[in-house]
Amino acid sequence: MSQALYRKYRSKSLAEIVGQQHITDILQKAISSDRLSHAYLLTGPRGVGKTSIARILAHSINELPYDEEVNHLDIIEIDAASNNGVEDVRDLREKVRLAPVSASKKVYIIDEVHMLSKAAFNALLKTLEEPPEHVVFILATTDANKLPDTIISRTQRFNFRSIAVKDAVEHLRTIAKAEKIKIDDQSLQIIAQRGEGSFRDSISLLDQLSSLSDEKEGITSELTEKVLGLAPNTSVQKILDYVIKSEPKQALQLLEELFSQGIDASILASQTANLARQKVVESPNLLNLIDSLLDVPKNSDPELKLIVAIGLASTTEKHAKSAALIASPLEIKASVQDLQKDQKTEQKEVPQQEHNQEAKKPDQPKEEAKSKQATVKKQAPSNSGNLDWESLIAYTKDKHVALYSVLVKCGYTLEENKLTIHAGNSLFKNKLDDMKYRRLLEESLSAVGASGLDIHTLPTPLPPKDSQAAAVAAIMGGGEEVSI
């Protein structure tokens, strides 16, 4: 049975540790000068070398050669995940008193120490504070926040870093060369990124792909993307290009194609965020997109969240460019308000002028004059009252999918120039009140011939039209009308 690559290429000395030089340098100096602490705490993400350094340090303290296959009686490893009770720690306290069998120090390595119970921590505290001269504790954890401060303060702490992608790529290339694994640079890059800062995870991915690859072609980017369930890098690049060029329709169509191929939304969001991060210096507006993409895996509907994130980013990018070329947002808002004010003044003046003209005609009956005044009022130019809600919904679905996803769930009432949107809940109301959504809503209303409306939003559903039903709804604390 062949040995897993991550175990085969585990570091055997502090000098072989990659990416944690800020820790290995200090430990090497401490060992060479014989200035060792009685307790060490190694914290950081998974797969970055905590356990390896703990074992190497334990052997170095006792001047023993490190061999992973050989167990030493004076180096005791304890998994806190399965030995986390107070009785386990009390047993450890009894054994700590015993002298080493053959080495100079008895070293206890407690892995995932944050898994100990509160009672177990209390039992360990006194021993950790004043251990016998012949004992050294090395604690390791991926979640230091769960450790009591009293434990942390009694140790010498070392914080491990996530492995940089470039370091992971070089390490993977070295292993591939030693194992005679044929692999292209793009695949190395993808594996390093998917490893998310963990050497162990990256090496395990390389091991998995090597067993599936063709001997002649080796590990290709196509195979890597397929096995890892990734979207093709060219597709991710296209999505980002569509966002930058403000082409939401094309971006969303490509998203739907990738979803239909079985691409996971969370993985696609991660790929897009990684690529956007590389371009954020030249396109700072991508920061908002990256922020939205980070929320995709946490959402109850990742696909819909990703659609909204991409759709909104590709539309706001266009508005951001326009605003930068024309004026500031405040200047634009002021101009629009002035224009709306002028339109309202014109609408009031036209009927009044017509009324004066009719009044000057002596022979015209009063009834006929009133009739003509009413006709003139109806014919007065105004876009504000011509709201076709279905047209608005259709327009936003085509142009602003993020706004559409909210607006399609709302109801509305229109009284003269006042448009009241019943959002149904506080979440949708807050979105519609947001500056980005409000700007898109005003633009959409203008596009369907209903500009200049005074927009108000309410968190409640649209009240029933029937007076009796409305009264019942009021008694019940709210409600909306449903057609059956």
> Residue 126: which CATH number?
3.40.50.300
Do residues 135 and 34 share a domain?
Answer: yes
- Which of 173, 193, 227 is a domain's end point? 227
What's the pLDDT band for 315 if we cut at 50, 70, 90? Answer: confident
- The 8-class DSSP code of residue 218 comes to B
Do residues 238 and 218 share a domain?
Answer: no
Instruction: Please report the pLDDT score of residue 66 as a whole number.
Output: 83
Q: Which tens digit of pLDDT belongs to each residue from 13-28?
A: 888 888 888 999 999 9
Q: Which domain holds residue 440?
A: 389-476
The token pair at 96 is 């700590």
The CATH number for 443's domain is: 3.30.300.180
Do residues 24 and 102 share a domain?
Answer: yes
SS (H, E, C) 106-136: EEEEEECHHHCCHHHHHHHHHHHHCCCCCEE
The token pair at 304 is 């819909």
The alpha carbon of 161 is separated from its chain's Cα centroid by a whole number of angstroms, namely 21
Do residues 131 and 84 share a domain?
Answer: yes
Give the Cα separation of 230 and 476 in Å (integer): 50
* Burial track 352-373 (b if 16+ CB lie within 10 A, e otherwise): eebeeebeeeeeeeeeeeeebb
The per-residue DSSP string of 342-404 comes to HHHHHHHHHHHHHHHHHHT-TTS-HHHHHHHHHHHHHHS--STT---HHHHHHHHHHH-HHHH
Give the Cα separation of 175 and 382 in Å (integer): 73
Q: Over range 35-42, report the average pLDDT.
A: 91
What's the pLDDT band for 132 if we cut at 50, 70, 90? Answer: confident
The alpha carbon of 253 is separated from its chain's Cα centroid by a whole number of angstroms, namely 22
Give the Cα separation of 254 and 93 in Å (integer): 62
Do residues 43 and 119 share a domain?
Answer: yes
**53 pLDDT higher than 50:** yes
- Which of 326, 350, 366 is a domain's end point? 326
The CATH number for 282's domain is: 1.20.272
What's the pLDDT band for 236 if we cut at 50, 70, 90? Answer: very high
Q: Which tens digit of pLDDT belongs to each residue from 144-202?
A: 999 999 889 989 999 998 888 888 999 999 999 998 999 989 999 999 988 888 888 89
Do residues 220 and 89 share a domain?
Answer: no
The token pair at 405 is 């996803």
Do residues 36 and 61 share a domain?
Answer: yes
Answer yes or no: is 353 within a domain: no
Answer yes or no: is 347 within a domain: no
Answer yes or no: is 352 within a domain: no
The token pair at 104 is 């100079």
Q: Which of 75-79, 185-189, 380-384, 388-392 has the lowest mean pLDDT?
A: 380-384
The alpha carbon of 156 is separated from its chain's Cα centroid by a whole number of angstroms, namely 34
Query: How many residues does this entry show for the chain?
Result: 484
pTM: 0.59
Do residues 120 and 145 share a domain?
Answer: yes
What's the pLDDT band for 332 if we cut at 50, 70, 90? Answer: very low
Q: Which tens digit of pLDDT belongs to each residue from 255-283?
A: 999 999 889 999 999 999 988 988 888 88
The token pair at 383 is 């876009």
Between the two ends of the chain, the Cα-to-Cα distance in Å is: 66
Do residues 27 and 106 share a domain?
Answer: yes
Answer yes or no: is 58 within a domain: yes
Do residues 252 and 216 share a domain?
Answer: no
CA distances from 350 to 60, 338, 357, 385, 451 (A): 95, 19, 11, 17, 19
What crossing angle do the helices spanning 329-359 and 302-326 adopt, rounded to 10°? 80
Cross-strand pairs, 422: 411, 458
Q: Which tens digit of pLDDT belongs to each residue from 417-443?
A: 889 999 888 888 888 988 888 888 999
The CATH number for 207's domain is: 1.10.8.60
Calculated CA dihedral for residues 383, 386, 388, 393, nearest 10 degrees = 30
Give the Cα separation of 260 and 149 in Å (integer): 50
The token pair at 159 is 């914080």
Mean pLDDT of the chain: 80
Number of domains in the chain: 4
Q: Do the Cβ atoms of 199 and 47 come closer than 8 Å?
A: yes
Instruction: Please report the pLDDT score of residue 101 as a whole number.
Output: 87
The token pair at 129 is 């504070």
Instruction: Please report the pLDDT score of residue 257 as a whole number.
Output: 92
Do residues 95 and 133 share a domain?
Answer: yes
Residue type, 124: L
Give the Cα separation of 134 and 429 in Å (integer): 66
Q: Which of 10-24, 87-101, 329-343, 403-417 has the lowest mean pLDDT?
A: 329-343
**297 pLDDT higher than 80:** yes
Do residues 154 and 35 share a domain?
Answer: yes
- Which of 132, 159, 186 is a domain's end point? 159
* Burial track 211-238 (b if 16+ CB lie within 10 A, e otherwise): eebeeeebbbbebbbeeeebbbbebbeb
Q: Do the Cβ atoms of 448 and 390 come closer than 8 Å?
A: no
Percent of the chain with pLDDT over 70: 81
Give the Cα separation of 408 and 118 in Å (integer): 51
The token pair at 188 is 């190395």
Answer yes or no: is 362 within a domain: no
Answer yes or no: is 377 within a domain: no
Instruction: Please report the pLDDT score of residue 331 as a whole number.
Output: 44
Q: Which tens digit of pLDDT belongs to each residue from 187-210?
A: 999 999 888 888 888 999 999 898
Pick the closest to residue 244 from 273, 274, 286, 294 (CA basis): 286
Give the Cα separation of 344 and 288 in Å (integer): 37
Q: Over range 339-367, report the average pLDDT.
A: 49
Give the Cα separation of 214 and 6 in Å (integer): 22
Answer yes or no: is 372 within a domain: no
Give the Cα separation of 53 and 110 in Å (integer): 13
**140 pLDDT higher than 80:** yes
Answer yes or no: is 360 within a domain: no
